[in-house]
Every structure is written in C-alpha cells, then in structure tokens.
Amino acid sequence: MESADSRELRNRVEDRISAWRIVVERIAETESSILAFGRRHDQPVVLKVVRNRGDEWHSGEILNAFAGNGVVRVYDYVEGAMLLERLSPGKSVVNIARNGDDDQATGILADVIRKMSQRTPVNAATLQDWAKGFERHAASGDAHIPKRLLSEAHRVYLKLCGSQSRPRLLHGDLHHYNVLFDSERGWLAIDPKGVIGELEYEIGAVLRNPYEKPEMFAKPSIIETRVERFARDLSLDATRILAWGFAQAVLSVIWAVEDGFAVEPDNPWIAFANVIGPMLEGVVGP
C-alpha cells in the first residue's frame, strides 16, 4: 500500500510534469530526489523533484543566481523542484581521478569554480549559519566524533568565519561527483547547496573526495598537492584552504550523523581530519 509520503511525492512529480509540459522518456530515483528525463518543446530536459526539505530544497534559486556560469542551466523552478538542461553524456570528473590523473581532475574542478560567478541576488545561508552544526552536535551528546577533534574543528571554523575576505555565493558542496561533462558546454556543476562565504571554503569538499577511496585523499602529500594547485589556479590562500578543509570535514560528519547515517570509527572524513589536523600546527593559532 502506498504511504502518504510516497503519494505526496508522486503528486508533486506529476504536478510539475503537467505544469512545465514535459514529455517524459524515463524516470530515475536517487536517495534525495526523483529525476524525470524528457523533453519540453523538443528541448532535452531533466525534471528534478527533491524528496524532503533540506540542502537542495532551494537549489533552483541558487542555480538561477549563477545564471549558467559554470553550472547547469535551470529553466524553471519552485521550492523542491527544478527543470534543468540535460547534460550529455553527463559523466562526472570522478572518472578522471579514479583513472589516475588526479591533477587533471583538480584542474577541471578549479576551472569550474573560476567560472561560477553570481549574476542575480539570492537569499542564502552563510558560513556563520552553518557553524551552528557544531553547537547542535555538542549539545546532542553524540559520541561518534572524538571530543578533542570536535572542539578543535569548531575553534578553527569560528576563527576562519571571523576573518573571511570577499564573501560571495558558493556552491557549498562542490566535489568530483557534482561536476559533469556536457559535449556542448564542457564541465558544469550540479546540485548546489548555496552558501555565502569566502572562496577558500569551496575547496573543502574536493579535498575529502572521492569519498569511497580515502587512499586518494587522506594522505599529506596528496592534500598538499591539491591545495597548492587550487591556491595557484584561483589565487587563493593555501593556509586558509587547508584550515577550512579540516574544519569542514568534521562539520560534514556532523551532518551525516544528523541525517541518520552510520558513522564508524574508520569514517573516511574523520580519518582525513586526523591527517590534516597536524598539518595546521602552528598555522591556525588560538
């Protein structure tokens, strides 16, 4: 028997298909959304309907603010749903990294970040807003993250928040799986969270991915090489990239706990934070 939540989701999908006059060719499901691939007025499109309120609920508004600059174009959007251009072949940059050319993958990601400039105003969360995750976790009594690591990451995060330069609209979750190739437009970012902060923050998600292969990111030599490439290509502060990468990794584990995911002692992002932490000694003071 169909649940009330499933029925509500199906109704939202059908409503958008009708309102935006989409001829659907196939439907796919992910953990976070329903994707309907099809056409509107002979134009290839993808309808994305987000299952629940959360990080991607306002992705349409965020994409609209970027106006196609380094990101997939959005044609229509409402809260929780958006009509997007269909990228072809749509393969992610993670394939390049997995095939042994991490430097090329890093260069592609840096180029996409360079292109992502805001064109229209948007209301978005700030990095200071996201800092509240540390407070929520400390109050919850959850013990998945070592207290010492949690405390240090919180300290570093707040110190960085208070000394930002040139805050701007960021993707907020830009990494290997969220950058896809289109034969006409090249590499483009998808699935933004949207957050206002300095550009050094944007690199953090890249540094801890591909998630399922910690051997590809949780090593000092790899971290240093990636940070140096981003700092050089984007004229950023390497020390701040490194520090944001540390604090953001711990915050991401907090979000995983809040989303109900199992966090084991060997969690790749905790391992990454434990590797990068000593690299900051003497760099990010009290």
236-280 pLDDT per residue, tens: 999 999 999 999 999 999 999 998 888 988 899 999 999 999 999
Q: Could you give the 3-state DSSP secondary structure of residue 282? A: coil
Domain extent, residue 167, equals 93-279
Which residues make Cβ contacts (< 8 Å) with residue 80, sequence separation at least 6? Answer: 12, 49, 50, 53, 57
Strand partners, 26: 37
**Domain total for the chain?**
2
Q: Is the pLDDT of residue 283 over 80?
A: no
Residue 180 lies in a domain: yes
And the tokens for 8? 């509500």
Residues 246 and 125 in one domain: yes
User: Is residue 188 included in any domain, yes or no?
Assistant: yes
The residue-averaged pLDDT of 169-178 equals 97
Query: Of 86, 115, 137, which residue is a domain's last?
Result: 86
E-state strands within 51-97: 74-78, 81-85, 89-92
* Confidence class for position 286, pLDDT limits 50, 70, 90: low
Structure tokens at 164: 């930002």
The domain boundary, picked from 86, 110, 131, lies at 86
Domain contains 284: no
Give the C-alpha separation, 271 to 222, whole Å: 14
* DSSP code per residue over 161-198: HTT--S-EEE-SS-SGGGEEEETTTEEEE-----EEE-
Q: Residue 43: its pLDDT value, please?
A: 96
Among 34, 65, 86, which residue terminates a domain?
86
This prediction's pTM: 0.94
Beta bridge partners of 36: 27, 47
Residue 113: CATH number of its domain: 3.90.1200.10
| pLDDT in the model for residue 3 | 84
pLDDT-derived band of residue 156, with 50, 70 and 90 as boundaries? Answer: very high
Residue with tokens 């996201």: 130
The token pair at 148 is 């010492």
Ordered alpha helix ranges (H), the chain: 4-19, 59-66, 94-98, 102-115, 127-130, 132-140, 147-161, 204-207, 220-234, 238-258, 268-279
Do 72 and 174 lie in a common domain?
A: no
Buried b (16+ CB within 10 A) or exposed e, 23-58: eeeeeeeeeebbebebebeeeebbbbbbbeeebbeb
Which pLDDT belongs to residue 204?
A: 97
CATH code of the domain containing 12: 3.30.200.20
Burial class from Cβ neighbours inside 10 Å (0-12, 13-18, 19+) for residue 123 reads exposed
pLDDT value for 121: 83
Sequence-distant (6+) residues with CB within 8 A of 23 are: 38, 39, 40
99 and 82 in one domain?
no
DSSP assignment, residue 214?
Answer: G
d(Cα 217, Cα 223) in Å, to the nearest integer?
A: 6
Per residue in 87-113, pLDDT tens? 999 999 999 999 999 999 999 999 999
Helix (H) or strand (E) holding 35: strand 33-40
Residue 286: inside a domain = no
Do 121 and 216 fall within a single domain? Answer: yes
* Parallel, antiparallel or unpaired: strands 74-78 and 89-92: unpaired
